[in-house]
Amino acid sequence: MFRTGILFGLVFFASAAIAADDVSVEEGLRIATIGGCHDCHTDGFAASGGQVDPEKALRGSQVGFQGPWGTTYPANLRIVLSKMGEDEFVRYSREIKTRPPMPWFGLHAMTDNELKSFYRYVKSLGEPGALAPDYVKPGEAPKTPFIVFAPPQMPAQ
Ligand code: HEC
């Protein structure tokens, strides 16, 4: 029983190591799923219970996120990535820093192969579609629906 456990562990480790080296579209979809990219960059994803609509996948969102930083829109990643090559995307992801609530530090934590797989997955998606709306400064009124990021009650200082 114990030996079987060890054997299983070794096989599991070996297959995990192979998976980490694998640069592929399928791996890219997995990265997009565990990285939460679809949650914000694919309209309707969260409400669908995690179904990726191939039509909308990573095309960005028309619904903004509003907070002290103004109103930001999850970018259309098909368009953003169409403007750079694979190695350029890896370099870009090492330096990226955006306004909230984009978890840009998550891109810094990805390995080169994970970024390459993500890139190939995005490239495998169809027509780029339209740009997401432009960023709106604090105090200016957005022309689209938006979600307000504010705690219902501010903690005491
Ligand atoms: C909580 C929502 C959220 C999640 C999760 C999220 N993003 Fe974003 N993302 C945004 C928003 C909002 C922006 C626009 C930020 C701005 O305007 O400064 C953005 C911007 C970006 C940009 C910059 C696009 C440009 O115009 O240069 C990239 C690249 C990006 N996201 C990739 C990803 C990837 C890859 C993942 C998954 C690992 C991800 N995002 C997860 C909300 C999110």
Pocket, ligand 1, Cβ cutoff 6 A:
35-37, 39-41, 65, 72-75, 77, 80, 96, 98-99, 101-103, 106-107, 118, 135
Percent of the chain whose pLDDT exceeds 90: 73
Give pLDDT, residue 151. 77
Confidence of residue 1 (pLDDT cuts 50, 70, 90): very low
12 CA to middle of ligand 1, Å?
32
What is the pTM for the complete model shown? Answer: 0.87
Q: How far is the CA of 157 from the centre of ligand 1 (A)?
A: 31
Chain segment 49-97, per-residue pLDDT in tens = 889 999 999 999 999 999 999 999 999 999 999 999 999 999 999 999 9
User: What b/e string do you get for 34-71 counting C-beta neighbours within 10 Å, with b at 16 or more?
Assistant: ebebbebbbbebeeeeeebeeebbbbbbebbbbbeebb
139 burial level (CB within 10 Å; 0-12, 13-18, 19+): exposed
pLDDT of residue 46: 82
**Which strand (E) or helix (H) includes residue 146?**
strand 146-148
Ligand 1 atom with minimal separation from the 101 CA:
1
Is the C-alpha dihedral spanning 27, 29, 35, 41 positive or negative?
A: positive
Tell which wins on pLDDT, 132 or 13.
Answer: 132
Mutate to test the pocket of ligand 1, among 102, 120, 134 (most ligand atoms within 8 A of CB): 102
Which two three-digit tokens encode residue 50? 């995690």
The alpha carbon of 143 and the centre of ligand 1 are apart by a number of angstroms equal to 20
| 18-22, 107-111, 147-151: least confidently modelled range | 18-22
